[in-house]
Chain A
Amino acid sequence: DQQVKQNSPSLSVQEGRISILNCDYTNSMFDYFLWYKKYPAEGPTFLISISSIKDKNEDGRFTVFLNKSAKHLSLHIVPSQPGDSAVYFCAAFANAGGTSYGKLTFGQGTILTVHP
């Protein structure tokens, strides 16, 4: 049962344009969401997160949007740069009591390629 889904295995974008990566979830108990970036043979690197009490969080070129009613979140990268090329994972967990903080459920990942 895939509780976090990234339905686009890959995305190709021109440098300078916007990259939009999407993520859907099914577990209504999830209340905290994160995006990680991963290069081959390396561990994921935290990018940005959002709590379910918000619908938007922005950090530089990265913005995450959360639509709770649709159980959907997206990561916007503007402007996209070739160095952004990597695999992007969304992840979620149910924070109730804080005890399950490390029990992230990951999506399958989306390979982003930014062309110069």
Chain B
Amino acid sequence: GAVVSQHPSRVICKSGTSVKIECRSLDFQATTMFWYRQFPKQSLMLMATSNEGSKATYEQGVEKDKFLINHASLTLSTLTVTSAHPEDSSFYICSARRISNSPLHFGNGTRLTVT
């Protein structure tokens, strides 16, 4: 069964608004979660590493003020897309690993459409 839950699965928002995406690890604690983004017909790209109790680590080219990450507990990380624009429309996926050296488990992703 699913080990990582992501919500919502789809969201449509107007340009300029903010959207929050939740990622939960089910029945295990994840001190680290990862946020990926996939544009159509492209590979998944790591956006940032979410660390429980500390600041997220962003990959080069990802705006930390635009993509706010909060890892408030050992089972929940949130990604907030602030002041969304149409070019932010994408498929956002979170992931976590159950134990060290186990494969990453992915959530089902969130399809964000900004109109």
Asked if B100 contacts A42 (CB within 8 A), the reply is no
Asked if B107 contacts A43 (CB within 8 A), the reply is yes
Is the CB of B25 closer than 8 A to any CB of chain A? no
Which B residues lie within 8 Å of A42 (CB)? 108-109
Chain B contact surface mostly: strand
Is the CB of B62 closer than 8 A to any CB of chain A? no
Is the CB of B71 closer than 8 A to any CB of chain A? no
Distance in angstroms from B111 CB to nearest chain A CB is 6
Which A residues lie within 8 Å of B61 (CB)? none
Instruction: Knowing A104-B46, A108-B43 are in contact, say whether A34-B93 is a contact too (CB < 8 A).
Output: no
Could you mark each residue 102-116 of chain A with 1 if its beta carbon is under 8 Å from any beta carbon of chain B, else 0?
111111110000000
How far is A43 from B107 in the complex, measured between Cα atoms in Å?
A: 5
Is the CB of A41 closer than 8 A to any CB of chain B? yes
Asked if A34 contacts B103 (CB within 8 A), the reply is yes
Asked if A102 contacts B34 (CB within 8 A), the reply is yes
14 more A-B contacts (CB under 8 A) besides A34-B104, A49-B103? A4-B43, A43-B93, A43-B95, A43-B108, A46-B103, A46-B104, A46-B105, A46-B106, A98-B100, A102-B34, A102-B97, A104-B44, A106-B43, A106-B44
Q: Report which B residues bind A (CB closer than 8 A).
A: 4, 6, 9-10, 32-34, 41-46, 49, 93, 95, 97, 100-101, 103-109, 111
A-B contact pairs, 15 of them (CB 8 A): A41-B108, A41-B109, A42-B109, A43-B93, A43-B107, A46-B106, A89-B43, A89-B44, A98-B101, A102-B49, A102-B95, A103-B46, A103-B49, A104-B104, A106-B44
